[in-house]
Amino acid sequence: MRALLQRVSEASVRVDGAIVGESGPGLLILVCAMAGDTDVDAGKLAAKISKLRIFTDGADKMNRSVRDIEGSALVVSQFTLAADTSRGNRPGFSSAAPPAEGERLYLYFADALAALGVPVQMGRFGADMKVSLLNDGPVTLWMDTND
């Protein structure tokens, strides 16, 4: 699975003008299930993110996790993280998991993150979403369970 994490002061996602998910201080996590990904990959990614020390401590060092700061996560499906831009000018997305499997793994990932003590809100899989965020730092990290 792939994820793009952004440390945020706040984030929200709207569908048809209505907020469907929001977060205060914590993480905006854009996530994409890749072809061949499993529940193990989703669980491994959730565990790593829950412990990732990217929030500052009293000495202004990145030494605290989202759980340590009692932060939350807004998890948004983002199949375009599977983009292959190696040929031509239009990205290909054939390495993304098929939609039904992608949605199942997206939900599994969000549930696994919540089970690890991170309050989770979500976007809506497959919807045209408008995501707003106030990036903190900015701190933005790329993760891939295949790396």
CATH at residue 124: 3.50.80.10
Of residues 80, 109, 121, 140, which has the active-site annotation? 80
- Provide the domain limits for residue 21: 2-87+97-135
Instruction: Note whether residue 19 is domain-resident.
Output: yes
Q: What is the mean pLDDT of the chain?
A: 97
Tell me which long-range contacts 130-133 makes (C-beta under 8 A, separation of at least 24).
130/13, 130/14, 130/15, 131/11, 131/12, 131/13, 131/14, 131/28, 131/76, 132/11, 132/12, 132/13, 132/14, 133/6, 133/8, 133/10, 133/11, 133/12, 133/28
Residue 92 lies in a domain: no
pLDDT of residue 147: 80
In a domain, 30, yes or no: yes
Q: Is residue 35 part of a domain?
A: yes
What letter would DSSP give residue 95? T
Q: Which of 6, 79, 109, 121 is catalytic?
A: 79
Whether residue 147 lies inside any domain: the answer is no
For residue 120, list its beta bridge partners. 73
From 6, 38, 55, 78, the catalytic residue: 78
Q: Would residue 78 show up in a list of annotated catalytic residues for this protein?
A: yes
Q: Is residue 141 part of a domain?
A: no
- The verdict on whether 121 is a catalytic residue reads no
The whole model's pTM is what?
0.95
Tell me whether residue 144 is in a domain: no
Give me the number of domains the chain comprises: 1
**125 catalytic, yes or no?**
no
Mind listing the pLDDT tens digit for each residue in 50-88? 999 999 999 999 999 999 999 999 999 999 999 999 999
With respect to residue 25, please indicate whether it lies within any of the assigned structural domains.
yes
**69, two tokens:** 């700061």
